[in-house]
Amino acid sequence: MLDVFTNLADWLAYQLLGLDAATRLGTSVHFFIEDTTKILFLLVVMIYVIALARASMNLERVRAYIQQKHRLVGYFFGSGFGAITPFCSCSSIPLFLGFTSAGIPLGITMAFLFTSPIINEVAVIMLWSLLGWEFTLAYIVIGMAVGMIGGMILDAVKGERWLKDFAAKAYQKAAAKAQDDENKVEAPEVPKLTMKGRHEFAKDELKEIVGRIWKWVLIGVGLGAALHGFVPDGWFAENLGSGQWWSVPAAVLAGLPLYSNATGVIPVMESLIMKGLPVGTTLAFCMSTVAASFPEFIMLKQVMTFRLLALIFAILLANFMVVGWVINAVSPWLFSGF
Amino acid sequence: MKHFEVLGTGCKKCVSTAESIERIAQELGHTVSVEKVTDPARIMEYQVMSTPAVALDGKVLHSGSIPEDDEIADWINSDSVR
């Protein structure tokens, strides 16, 4: 079915614009047209469909659900809900405090916040269409593992000691009361939604999300297209690809100052992998770009001391490096297609 | 006079929410006060998890998005003036 977009790109790039498929410019333009049309089409359809399904979900219900879970299961659900719950990064502070003041451990809250930028429906749709389902599945597993392990480490070192005072007090108060059932936050009533209500919600979501990300798609695919056309095949393999151990930390550091969301990074990822950059190195680079962003950290400063922030930052970077090394080591067996 | 509080840590949507309330109040010929609450501790007291949120005289009316104009007009016109 997706051949339509290849054909469209063939026609636009080679016939209408008269570009030569053998030139760098020709392949770049072709790549750009094919990927932007395909991605935008899939996004519009899938965001709408997914929004229809989750119209009745909200953060209050997610919180009540996580709170009822055993701590160990909590990491899994924290991270899982981080992946599927839509929320704007400007809400991360109220969300953080909402969870904390309900007595949810810091590590579980952070598992939610770590995973949230890495996995969302937009990222999954794009990965699936560009790199196939095996890769998408591996990405989801890795993204959730980064969140869960990050959260567990934070709790293991009792990170909540270094919350800002007011947040720490709210947490202790809630945690002390956790024995009585009184403190359990009630799951709010599920709002009864008619099909029309769901459609309205999905329409708004679609407008909101596409309005926010279309630029990122263009920038991301533009960069991907440039890489695709102008970097010779096997360039990375020759220069970085033999898996020198330091290429992974180098990729993580290179991703740090870049601030993008998953939408912008995935087309670049596709090109990097096609050009022979090892999969683990590519993933480390992308996660560092997406999940460790300074604007986010500056926001969290309102509820955390510098010490805790630095700790979280270090845990994230260490996780990305481990992901890179492990995936590089196992990828010959996992992704034989790449 | 009604006292609206717009809760949010300072994102663009919070600013436009506050502006909408002021604009609509003016159109309807009411005087209201609008305060932007950015202090996380105060937002936490309201138990709000998605911002922007709107509180009128200490009660949360809306959270998670920029409210519709009609909705804002209803709040301004309602009788619950202290």
Per-residue pLDDT reduced to its tens digit, A192-201 = 667 787 888 8
Average the pLDDT over A214-229 and give the result: 85
- Interface check for A119 against chain B (CB to CB < 8 A): the answer is no
In a domain, A295, yes or no: yes
Q: Considering CB atoms only, which of B12, B41, B51 is closest to A91?
A: B51
Q: What is the pLDDT of residue A195?
A: 79
Rounded to a whole number, what is the distance in angstroms from the first to the last CA of chain A? 22
Concatenate the DSSP letters of all residues of A36-55 into one string: HHHHHHHHHHHHHHHHHHTT
In a domain, A21, yes or no: no
Q: Is the pLDDT of residue A311 over 90?
A: yes
- Interface check for B14 against chain A (CB to CB < 8 A): the answer is yes
Give the domain extent around A265.
54-192+231-334
- Answer yes or no: are the C-beta atoms of A107 and A154 closer than 8 Å: yes
Spatial separation of the C-alpha atoms in residues A150 and B61, rounded to whole Å: 36
Q: What is the pLDDT of residue A337?
A: 52
Please list, in sequence order, all residues whose beta carbon lies within 8 angstroms of the beta carbon of residue A272, skipping any fewer than 6 positions away: A227, A236, A282, A285
Residue B5, helix vs strand vs coil: strand
Question: Which of A54, A58, A81, A93 to mutate to test binding with chain B, by most B CBs within 10 Å of its CB?
Answer: A93
- Answer yes or no: are the C-beta atoms of A236 and A269 closer than 8 Å: no
Q: Give the single-character DSSP code of B52.
A: S
Question: Percentage of residues in chain A with pLDDT exceeding 70?
Answer: 89
Q: Is the pLDDT of residue A273 over 50?
A: yes
Rounded to a whole number, what is the distance in angstroms from the first to the last CA of chain B? 7
Cβ distance of B10 and A90 shorter than 8 Å: yes
Beta strand B53-56 with B32-37 is: unpaired
Nearest C-alpha in A relative to B43: A94
- Answer yes or no: are the C-beta atoms of A150 and A112 closer than 8 Å: no
- Residue A269's pLDDT band (boundaries 50, 70, 90)? confident
CATH classification for the domain delimited by B2-77, as one of 3.40.50.12240, 3.40.30.10, 3.20.20.140, 3.90.1200.10: 3.40.30.10
Q: What is the pLDDT of residue A181?
A: 53
Cβ distance of B40 and A88 shorter than 8 Å: no
Q: Give the single-character DSSP code of A15.
A: I
Cβ distance of A303 and B40 shorter than 8 Å: yes
Cβ distance of A58 and B64 shorter than 8 Å: yes
What does pLDDT average to over chain A? Answer: 82
- Answer yes or no: are the C-beta atoms of A133 and A282 closer than 8 Å: no
Structure confidence by residue, pLDDT tens digits, A318-335 = 999 999 998 888 877 766
Q: Name all contacts of A71-74 with Cβ < 8 Å and 24+ positions apart.
A: A71/A105, A71/A108, A74/A104, A74/A105, A74/A108
Cβ distance of B50 and A87 shorter than 8 Å: yes
What values do phi and psi take at A164, rounded to 5? Answer: -60, 150
Domain count for chain A, please give it: 1
Nearest C-alpha in A relative to B12: A90
ipTM beyond 0.95?
no
Q: Give the global pTM.
A: 0.80
Residue A1, helix vs strand vs coil: coil
Q: Is the pLDDT of residue A272 over 50?
A: yes
Structure tokens at A122: 């937009």
Tell me the helix, strand and coil percentages in chain B, rounded to 5.
40, 25, 35
- Interface check for A170 against chain B (CB to CB < 8 A): the answer is yes
In a domain, A5, yes or no: no
Q: Where exactly are the structural domains of chain B?
A: 2-77
Average the pLDDT over A246-256 and give the result: 85
Q: Is the pLDDT of residue B67 over 90?
A: no
In a domain, A200, yes or no: no
Nearest to B30 by CA among B38, B18, B20, B22: B22
Q: Is the pLDDT of residue A90 over 70?
A: no
In a domain, A19, yes or no: no
Cβ distance of B14 and A90 shorter than 8 Å: yes
In a domain, A239, yes or no: yes
Cβ distance of B49 and A101 shorter than 8 Å: no
Average the pLDDT over B11-32 and give the result: 87
Q: Is the pLDDT of residue A259 over 80?
A: no
Residue A21, helix vs strand vs coil: coil
What values do phi and psi take at B34, rounded to 5? Answer: -120, 125
Q: What is the pLDDT of residue B82?
A: 44
Q: What is the pLDDT of residue A309?
A: 92
Beta strand B32-37 with B2-7 is: parallel
Amino acid at residue number A112: F
Spatial separation of the C-alpha atoms in residues A142 and A114, rounded to whole Å: 12
Amino acid at residue number B35: E
